């Protein structure tokens, strides 16, 4: 299997599905909206959101789009930021941008464009890698202490399919809030516990999944757990 096929296979595992279930719970407000899913990957979230929304999905990797399973109708475009700059301003109620900005240099340009495309009161859903969470994963799940030490010293992390992870923190998000007519309305942690369990056979259990979903849901708004989660989910609103 290629690295991309392995990645897709992981999204279909019970713990991969748990990630999306948590994300979708945090986006329960998204009903009868016009949605842009930028960097839509395999289209898993775009497909789910298209059940009860009008969705445009944009993804530069054609292979990822081709590998996805589509159950609902939505529009898919192969492309990047150039694909959205011609869209009329204030077109969307919700823009989804999950695990994308880590891999671009001009983050400000993306957020500026997203703000222009949002209606007043529209939401921007950002999911970002959290450095502390990756260090926890390396040290505990992978038992790779040397890599954890390297990362805690500020060195670069690499995602197998996407390259260097260019982490960004709350100070940059605060800058976006001040520059682009945005305000933070919610912050969540995702994957605080479930990726640290060393025994995959236990993670196949329905009871484990139900209990872990409840634990992740309850801890997702608690700051101490947000700080060490593998991902942070920030929801902003255009004002």
Asked if residue 141 has pLDDT above 80, the reply is yes
Rg over CA atoms, the chain: 17
Split at pLDDT 50, 70, 90, the class of 198 is confident
Asked if residue 160 has pLDDT above 90, the reply is no
Residue labelled with tokens 């982490």: 167
Split at pLDDT 50, 70, 90, the class of 168 is very high
What does the pLDDT read at residue 17?
A: 93
What does the pLDDT read at residue 18?
A: 95
Alpha carbon distance 61, 9 (integer Å): 17
Average pLDDT of the chain to the nearest whole number = 95
What does the pLDDT read at residue 203?
A: 82
Domains, the chain: 3-130+162-238 (3.40.50.150)
Other beta carbons less than 10 A from residue 67's beta carbon: 16
93 phi, psi to nearest 5 deg: -85, -25
- The whole-model pTM stands at 0.96
Asked if residue 161 has pLDDT above 90, the reply is no
> Residue 126: CB partners within 8 Å, gap ≥ 6?
97, 98, 101, 173, 233, 234, 235, 236
Average pLDDT over residues 200-214: 88
160 phi, psi to nearest 5 deg: -55, -40
Asked if residue 195 has pLDDT above 90, the reply is no
Split at pLDDT 50, 70, 90, the class of 58 is very high
41-45, 81-85, 144-148: range with lowest mean pLDDT:
81-85
Split at pLDDT 50, 70, 90, the class of 201 is confident
What does the pLDDT read at residue 221?
A: 97
| Per-residue pLDDT tens over the stretch 109-129 | 999 999 999 999 999 999 999
Single out the residue of 70, 20, 63, 12 nearest to residue 41, CA to CA.
63
Question: Three-state SS across the chain?
Answer: CCHHHHHHHHHHCHHHHHHHHHHHHHCCCCCCCEEEEECCCCCHHHHHHCCCCEEEEEECCHHHHHHCCCCCCCEEEECCHHHCCCCCCCCEEEEEEECCHHHCCCHHHHHHHHHHHEEEEEEEEEEEECHHHHHHHHHHHCCCHHHHHHHHCCCCEEECCCEEECCCCHHHHHHHHHHCCEEEEEEEEECCCCCCCCCHHHHCCHHHHHHHHHHHHHHCCCHHHHCCCCEEEEEEEEC
Percentage above 90 pLDDT, the chain: 88
What does the pLDDT read at residue 202?
A: 83
What does the pLDDT read at residue 85?
A: 87
Percentage above 70 pLDDT, the chain: 100
185-194, 196-205, 228-237: range with lowest mean pLDDT:
196-205
């Amino acid at each position: 299997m290629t690295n991309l096929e392995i990645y897709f296979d992981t999204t279909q595992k019970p713990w991969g599905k748990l990630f999306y279930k948590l994300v979708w719970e945090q986006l329960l407000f998204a009903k009868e909206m016009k949605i842009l899913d930028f960097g839509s990957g395999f289209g898993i979230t775009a497909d789910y959101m298209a059940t009860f929304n009008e969705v445009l999905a944009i993804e530069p990797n054609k292979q990822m789009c081709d590998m996805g399973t589509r159950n609902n109708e939505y529009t898919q475009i192969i492309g990047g930021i150039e694909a959205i700059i011609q869209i009329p301003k204030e077109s969307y109620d919700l823009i989804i941008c999950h695990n994308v900005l880590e891999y671009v240099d001009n983050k400000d340009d993306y957020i500026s464009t997203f703000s222009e495309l949002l209606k007043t009161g529209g939401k921007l859903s950002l999911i970002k890698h959290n450095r502390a969470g990756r260090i926890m994963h390396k040290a505990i799940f992978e038992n790779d202490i040397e890599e954890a030490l390297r990362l805690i010293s500020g060195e670069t992390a690499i995602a197998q399919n996407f390259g260097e992870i260019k982490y960004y923190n709350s100070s940059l998000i605060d800058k976006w809030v001040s520059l682009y007519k945005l305000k933070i309305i919610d912050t969540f942690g995702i994957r605080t516990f479930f990726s640290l369990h060393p025994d995959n056979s236990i993670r196949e259990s329905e009871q484990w999944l139900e209990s872990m979903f409840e634990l992740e849901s309850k801890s997702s708004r608690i700051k101490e757990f947000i700080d060490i989660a593998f991902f942070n989910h920030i929801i902003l609103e255009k004002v």
